[in-house]
Structure 1
Amino acid sequence: MNTLPHATATQSRPTGPGLDMRLLGIYLNDHLGGATAGTERATRLARAAGESALGRAIGPVAAEIAQDRAALLDIMGDLGVPVRRYKVCAGWAGEKLGRLKPNGHLLRPSPLGIMLDLEALRLGVEGKAAGWQLLRRLSAADERLDPARLDTLLERALRQQERIEQWRVRQAEEALATPVG
């Protein structure tokens, strides 16, 4: 954990007018916690789906989500924002605890499980896109933020949303369909 006081980490670095680096640091660490949870969930879902059509579709998305988390860490480093490990741990633990929810089956996987995982991923990617959009706006006030990189990250998040939504709807239709017979 970075033990330097936050003010020391950012005092010597120029910032744009109006940027509150303390609040931006809190915001980015909150996103890092979410990115940690999202990476864990996406990786687990891709692994569980294996070589199925869902696995082939979600595997690359899971890899991109992990890359996006790494990009966030790079951006935080560029801005001199220290990582708050307790938020990373909270994201990791929250994802693990989220697996304990009742889903209609006690001893075997529920058809709702994949649908709910996809829904959680969709919401997480939507939040990530909002974060990239905000950072893109802030890039006008702080030259340490690369607008082209943020545009690329935002475009990728929007593609991830589309892919996840397609599979979420497909899984919902399968999971909630009335069995025939």
Structure 2
Amino acid sequence: MERSTTPFGTPRLLGIYLNDHLAGATGGVELLRRAARAQRGRSRGPQLAELAEEVASDRAALQQIMADLGIPVQRAKTALGWLAEKAGRLKLNGHLLSRSPLSDVLDLEMMRLGVEGKTSCWRSLRAIADTDSRLDTARLDGLLQRAGRQAEVLEALRTAAAVETFGSPRD
């Protein structure tokens, strides 16, 4: 099978892959911002607001990486990421018209999964950075480090929300 490339010499599949991650990042930023607003005035609020800004910055970094690689942004796919986050709000969580405590747990789990996906993207880019001078290895190392910290913060928040929502585990 012939390998298809963009006009800039970047494999077409990398463009699809990065646009998929950009769509996910778009949904992730929206989810984090919504969660931060929902937690305003509570202990998780400031951490979620900070994470939302970091993930927005990570999304911008991905857009810059795509530009550096000559990969065009597929706006329709990005819009689908935004729409998917909105549709994700329509889940059966035990409350019809108000936010359920279960929403906190599920949202934090989704955010955690999103950071794991983003980490995989940064790792993939880091792996090819050794053979592609358009990729900044130091920048990717920094993004990987930040994603690791984000995963730790989200896991602590998720665990606390689970205990708060479901109660302490019984022996």
The bucket for the TM-score relative to the shorter chain is over 0.9
Q: 2:143 aligns with which of 150, 153, 156?
A: 153
- Structure 1 moving runs of 4+ over 6 Å: none
| Identical-residue share of aligned pairs (%) | 53
* 1:166 aligns to 2:156 (yes or no): yes
* 1:35 aligns to 2:25 (yes or no): yes
The aligned residue for residue 52 of structure 1 is: 42
AA matched with 1:166: A
2-structure distance, mates of 1:138, 1:43: 32
* Higher mean C-alpha deviation, range 34-43 or range 20-29: 20-29
Q: Once the 2 structures are TM-superposed, how far is the Cα of residue 46 of structure 1 from its aligned partner? A: 0.8
* Higher mean C-alpha deviation, range 107-116 or range 150-159: 107-116
Question: Which structure 1 segments of 5+ residues have no match?
Answer: 1-5, 12-19
Alignment of 1:1-181 (within 5 A): 7-8=6-7, 10-11=8-9, 21-177=11-167
Q: Once the 2 structures are TM-superposed, how far is the Cα of residue 26 of structure 1 from its aligned partner? A: 0.5
AA matched with 1:147: T
Q: Once the 2 structures are TM-superposed, how far is the Cα of residue 109 of structure 1 from its aligned partner? A: 1.4
2-structure distance, mates of 1:39, 1:7: 28
2-structure distance, mates of 1:107, 1:48: 14
Q: Once the 2 structures are TM-superposed, how far is the Cα of residue 56 of structure 1 from its aligned partner? A: 1.4
2-structure distance, mates of 1:72, 1:98: 23
Secondary structure in 2 matching 1:167: helix
Q: Deviations over 1:104-161 (max 9, x none)?
A: 1112211100111100000000000010011001101100000000000000000000
2-structure distance, mates of 1:106, 1:7: 47
TM-score calculated relative to the size of structure 1: 0.87
Q: Once the 2 structures are TM-superposed, how far is the Cα of residue 177 of structure 1 from its aligned partner? A: 2.0
2-structure distance, mates of 1:109, 1:24: 38
Secondary structure in 2 matching 1:53: coil
Q: Over the residues paired in the alignment, what is the CA RMSD in angstroms?
A: 1.3
